[in-house]
Amino acid sequence: MRFASRLPAAALAVSLPLCVYAASGSGQSTRYWDCCKPSCSWPGKASVNQPVFACDANNNHLSSFDTPSGCVGGSAFTCANQSPWAVNDNLAYGFAATALSGGSEASWCCGCYALIFTSGPVAGKTMVVQSTSTGGDLGSNHFDIAMPGGGVGLFDGCSRQFGGLPGAQYGGISSQSQCSSFPSALQPGCNWRFDWFKNSDNPSFTFTQVQCPSELVARTGCRRSDDGNFPIFLAPPASGSTTSSVKPATSSVKSTSTTSKAPSASGCSVAQWAQCGGVGWAGCPCVSGTTCKFINDYYSQCI
């Protein structure tokens, strides 16, 4: 279950760590999509530029972060684009409700974590997730990966938003064919579970906290103030690699000055080396001075 508590993290934690450290270890995963307002969408949960975006029933960003969750009779829901997607056959991005040993929402809200799966048909693949919520039913180092069709759980906001979704309350649907009956905005994330994720059932993984890729921040609007202190994530290639790596936060990368598309009407852009296109891509154009280079059907990169 996910519960979007409006209490600030300082009120929920007995004490907070005084230093910044990159969380890492071994973890357990589950899956869910309850449509509820993400817990990290409430103000005051962590030191961030803004809370995670929440949406109305039609997937429009809400202007107020104080709008009550649809799971308690309000009109705030999880935005449909906070679904997982494939970058290439070895890498995916997405979002999760988390509970990390020794921490609280103050230390993990809007943090990003590189998961390397160690069991099931997805073993060897990497997924970078941003923490957007938590839940009282989560165990230690537990990542409940948000994926449409993963089960609505105890706090079912999908009945209010969509009139209900197919599948069991816990675990969700059992067949990819059921994805076609979902609202169109949720179908890509539903299909991802059976394509890239290979319908893995709660695989185990190792994880390391990393700087948030701009592609994830573009969908939530949220970045931690300490994000730059964590290692830089280096994406694995499309094939021939079963591991990914990180660079220390102080590492530099060689810049390439080329021509890019004009900034979007909203003024947003993504940094050099970030994703700028591919199947399911819904982000911003490359920052000025770079260009978007096609890598494969799932991934184009600003260089």
| Spatial separation of the C-alpha atoms in residues 47 and 109, rounded to whole Å | 9
Bridge partners (DSSP) of residue 275 are: 301
10 Å CB burial of residue 213 (0-12, 13-18, 19+) is: buried
Write down the catalytic residue from 34, 144, 156, 227.
34
Instruction: Please spell the DSSP secondary structure of 82-148, one letter per residue.
Output: SS-EEEETTEEEEEEEEE-TT--HHHHTT-EEEEEE-SSTTTT-EEEEEEEE--TT--TTEEEEE-T
Residue whose C-alpha is closest to residue 82's, from 222, 249, 261: 222
User: CA–CA distance from 301 to each of 51, 90, 122, 218, 289 (Å)?
Assistant: 27, 16, 24, 15, 13
Cα 103 from chain centroid (whole Å): 19
Clarify whether 195 is annotated catalytic: no
Q: Which are the catalytic amino acids?
A: 34
